[in-house]
Copies of this chain bind each other. A is one copy, B any other.
């Protein structure tokens, strides 16, 4: 199945041009695995030597998930040996690291908007090759970040920058411009049987 191409579009691009097109990827739906699969893609990107930027908008905002430690360990390997690529990991919950706001700031809407403004700057500067905008659907759904601005910025981003957006209820306007959208659906879940999350699995 790999490599099967159902239809060749009349977009005037060569296969190589299409193959190397930067992708907008969305992981949405109510099931598990949206963020985890995004961090798995970051592993691949690290292995390609890409600069990875992770921006966590909501979940695990004040605490550190296992993927952060693992990817930051890989970033240290990159620094010391040159293998792989650099990784930056930014969290809204503890206050964006570049921000002058304090961690105790409770104006989540302003903090989310500030996160998006920084991502826009980085996209314009072509800072990273892969951006993980984790749980970015929520500040959009809540009106903290303007969806039209997101759509225009992503559609017109320069160079070769891949962007992954995760979260439930992705806005249809973002789905519309995405190259790859996967919906994760819950079929069966231990929470249904009274089991809470556990270390190593949920974080």
- Please report A residues at the B interface, Cβ cutoff 8 Å: 2-9, 11, 15, 18-21, 23, 25-29, 31-33, 35-41, 43-48, 50, 59, 65-67, 69-71, 73-74, 77, 83-84, 129-130, 162, 175, 178-203
Contacts and interface: CB of A to CB of B under 8 A. Distances in A.
B32 A180 contact: yes
A43 B18 contact: no
A61 to B, nearest CB: 11
B19 A196 contact: yes
In the A-B complex, list the 4 residue pairs whose CB atoms are closest, starting with the nearest. Answer: A47-B66, A44-B66, A36-B40, A33-B37
Nearest to A64: B47
Nearest to A176: B188
Contact of A196 (B15, B175, B197, B202): B15
A200 to B, nearest CB: 4
Nearest to A8: B194
A40 to B, nearest CB: 3
Nearest to A27: B33
A103 B196 CA distance: 44
Contacts of A32: 37, 180, 182
Contact of A37 (B4, B11, B36, B198): B36
